[in-house]
Amino acid sequence: MEKSKVLIVGGTGYLGKRLVKSSLANGHDTYILQRPQIGVDIEKVEMLISFKMQGAHLVTASFNDHRSLVDAVKLVDVVICAISGVHIRSHHILLQLKLVDAIKEAGNIKRFFPSEFGTDPARMENAMEPGRVTFDDKMVVRKAIEEAGIPFTYVSANCFAGYFLGGLCQIGHILPSTDSVVLLGDGNQKAIYVDEDDIATYTIKTIDDPRTLNKTLYLRPPKNILSQREVVQIWEKLIGKELKKSTLSKEEFLAPMKELEYAEQVGLCHYYHVCYEGCLANFEIGDEASTLYPEVKYTTVEQYMKRYL
């Protein structure tokens, strides 16, 4: 079977660059949306050129130019969007409505992967303000996709390992301490941590797989469903030392909310739902990625943590 041609939107971003690499590695004809508004962002330009040298095609198009988006979409079979929905970086989820319009008009796309890759927004209707904006916006995009009759796959990748494991699940930390750690609540709520390269690998695997069409694909590597305490224990074992532990009640965790900037408030809410409510692992699913694609040797939490030694 001939492999689908893929357009990646946001191909120089945190997850996007990994999707490009995985798509190329899997032999897909890979196109990357290049926005003319790149200005003098030399790092992005260098990344795009390096991808071009690896065989990717650069397509100039803009969210401000509907015709250019339609023309870009017509070149491929599958569109993957990886624009940021994390407020501490940037939040452009609703921009995808323009992409949905272009895909609808082009009429040739076999599958669209919108920018999801985190908590399943369909399960977050009771999320707190202002963090729920992320989930609400993603649901607006889903509704537009489904009303337009566009075939889709939603990827729920849970916790990006770099953001969560690096800081031992503490908000605002991305490197693990060798001295102390603050446990959120009792530290026993399970979450799911996925290496960012593995997120890209699984996503690209699903492109031509009928089993994942018009479904949500959950990434739940069995060995990576762990509580904060268990993550800390793995780190302690690696460094051969016990960390000093203190605990933070949910009231203490939420107390500084009012003083924080909006983007930080959003992040705080997301951590709250994951670490205090266990929103990622408290429901059953059908097949998940590691059972659908047993050939992928995913990175375990312990393997991932070794990079910080």
Q: What is the tens place of the pLDDT at every residue in 198-257?
A: 999 999 999 999 999 999 999 999 999 999 999 999 999 999 999 999 999 999 999 998
Q: Please give the pLDDT value at position 86.
A: 67
In this predicted structure, what is the pLDDT of residue 35? 87
Give yes or no for a contact between 71 and 99, defined as CB atoms under 8 angstroms apart.
Answer: no
Catalytic pick among 3, 138, 205, 297:
138
Question: What does the pLDDT look like over 29-60, one tens digit per residue?
Answer: 999 999 887 777 899 999 999 999 999 999 99
> What's the pLDDT at 96?
96
Is 215 one of the annotated active-site residues of the chain? no
Model pLDDT, residue 37: 74
Alpha-carbon separation of residue 197 from 42, 69, 252, 296 (angstroms): 24, 27, 34, 11
* Residue 79 neighbours by CB under 8 Å, 6+ apart: 6, 7, 9, 73, 99, 103, 109, 111, 112, 113
- Record the pTM: 0.96
Taking 50 as the pLDDT cut, the residues of the chain under it are none
